[in-house]
Structure 1
Amino acid sequence: MDTICRLAGADDLIGQGTGRLQQAIVDGDTPYLFEHLVESFSLQGISDRAALTYMENHDRPSWRDLQQATSRPPACPKLRGYWTFCGCGYRKAARTCAEPGALAECSVPRPALRNGRLNQMTYSLFFFIRDVTDGNLIDWIDRSLAQASLGTKNRAYRMRHALIEPLRNIYGVSDKVLNMTLADVLLAAPASKPLWRETGFGMIAIDTLVHNFLSRSGIIHRLGHEHSYGSACYSTNGCADIVRRIARRIDAKQFNLEYPTNFARFVQHAIWRYCAQSELNVCNGNNIDDDLRCQNGNCALFRCCDRARD
């Protein structure tokens, strides 16, 4: 893993949002942050390139669009707010939902998103910000982290979960996408928000690339924590716990003096970059037949990797 971090570790994970995203955090610009989250949460189900291409070719729902759409008495009882929106069930292709009698007047289908799940996600996120955070997501994050940071026992865990647990209830948002998006947002915060950065250091996004690397390399097997990809990756002794154990043994300051010594997000991101087709493109299903042991003798890890079969 030290080799992976040296080959694929990024030295610019902190403060990447020195542009528009960081300024939105400084300014308390919730509408911009909402639109940023909608875009990030939409990167699921297909490749990032395909998702971004679709969004470039279609109008994206803005905070103001949803404010206007929900300013009038709702045609559907589910559009009253965050807690009533549960079970909307809108399906774009079938043009159906849980309240078919109100569908013709409903605003949920209006954004031209890839599928109905994303329409539901967009409204669910909007209602969460409007109703749960009182329309101010930045202040809500500040308050949540400040309260969770009190005391020393399990402090990092409590701060992560102060954000993850409530946001997990937003429709259609997986743990992977949630951790990935929050890590980017929290690490984009200015130095004046140290709790944001501290929490972002431990946000880990486990996708199939990361899980499969930990499996092929034999790390999961050696630790005796074998499991299938999915929710188990975030359970006790799952992939996320394994990455955190590794991170405690790798001093990230050697890669950037601004990094904390223990930087789990850095380690997870290095694994992803080593595997991703758009990055170093070494350890992935395009290059490896998982019915056989990996034959890539040019891989820097070839001699120490277990090259386990799936």
Structure 2
Amino acid sequence: MFNWLVEVASYQGISDAIAWTYMEEHGRVRWGDLQAAPTRGPACPKLASFAAFSGCRYRKASRTCAHPEDFLGCPLPTHPLRKGSLNQAAYALYLFLRDECRGDLVAWIDAQLAAADQPGAHNRVRRMREALLRPLARVHGLGPKVASMALSDLLLGTDPKRERWLTTGASLIVVDTLVHNWLHRTGILQRLDAEHAYGPACFRPGGCAEIIETVANRIDARQFNASFPAAFPRYLQKAIWVFCAESGMGICNGNQIDDSQPCGSQNCRLSPDCRRIALRPAN
């Protein structure tokens, strides 16, 4: 699971094709690599535990960190990852799984969800979701977008008898630039007085994720597939992404329209209600 999670984190901030090509050419970091790393001579005290790791500040380009006196003996920079923050993410995740999860991510998820679960509570799903996302937010490089993407795939692909996993996985929303920009262009953010720049604000109260969840709770997803849960925010978010992405329908995509001008399409099904707000003002 570590190998898979750290690879998911490697896809952030760049196209999937470029990230995959880089990993194919330069290799991937594996659990066994990090498990053996602390035994390779003197190491930085940051690697002692997950709690101690915060503030590593390794930079690949400048080859600097928070403890330059230990740099030459530190195994963290030795892995040929695309950028220094990915090296930090790999070690932070390794230490989190080792120290916080006691080496058993599945048992940790079960325990977190069970502790947060309050059957019948109006905020039951949110409580369980936050029970996973809040601790993972402490892992360098695992922001809400990356953590939601990884956890959603893991939880939804599990045993159908794990109701907590399935319910929580269905609620996890991944807001990337395509989804945020669509909410902006259509005028949805403007109508709801929720305009904000892409980034952490997308996951804050009133942001993109909450808007999508609110709408998804009003749509019975079982009309699309009888095996789906009635409320399926992740499915709605993925539908928006497919509508915009070049690898999907590619309709509301900045590479297909002039993003400095309002969209001129009259064939889109959303045309009657779309406000066609440009992302950037015209020069």
TM-score range, shorter chain: over 0.9
Candidates 235, 241, 248, aligned match of 2:210 = 241
Partner residue, 1:123: 91
1:278-293 equivalences under 5 Å are 278-293=247-262
Matched, 1:113 2:45: no
Gaps of 5+ in 1: 1-32
Is the Cα–Cα contact under 8 Å of residues 233 and 240 in structure 1 kept in the other structure?
yes
Matched, 1:35 2:3: yes
Candidates 210, 222, 243, aligned match of 2:191 = 222
Distance 2:84 2:274 in 1: 42
Report the Cα offset of residue 48 of structure 1: 1.1
1:36-75 equivalences under 5 Å are 36-71=4-39, 74-75=42-43
Distance 1:101 1:221 in 2: 51
Is the Cα–Cα contact under 8 Å of residues 45 and 52 in structure 2 kept in the other structure?
yes
Distance 1:73 1:191 in 2: 46
Deviations 1:246-293 (A, max 9, x none): 102221111111101110000001001110112111111112223322
Distance 2:119 2:41 in 1: 45
Report the Cα offset of residue 73 of structure 1: 7.0
Moved over 3 A (4+): 71-74
Distance 1:297 1:49 in 2: 32
Bigger Cα displacement from structure 2, 243-252 vs 112-121: 243-252
Matched, 1:303 2:272: yes
TM-score calculated relative to the size of structure 2: 0.94
TM-score calculated relative to the size of structure 1: 0.86
Deviations 1:129-165 (A, max 9, x none): 0001111111000111111113432110110000000
Report the CA distance shift for 1:74/1:198 in structure 2 as closer, same or farther (over 3 A): farther
RMSD: 1.4
Partner residue, 1:26: none
Partner residue, 1:90: 58
Is the Cα–Cα contact under 8 Å of residues 40 and 75 in structure 2 kept in the other structure?
no
Bigger Cα displacement from structure 2, 270-279 vs 67-76: 67-76
Deviations 1:25-52 (A, max 9, x none): xxxxxxxx11110010111121111101
Report the Cα offset of residue 196 of structure 1: 0.8
Candidates 164, 168, 171, aligned match of 1:202 = 171
Gaps of 5+ in 2: none
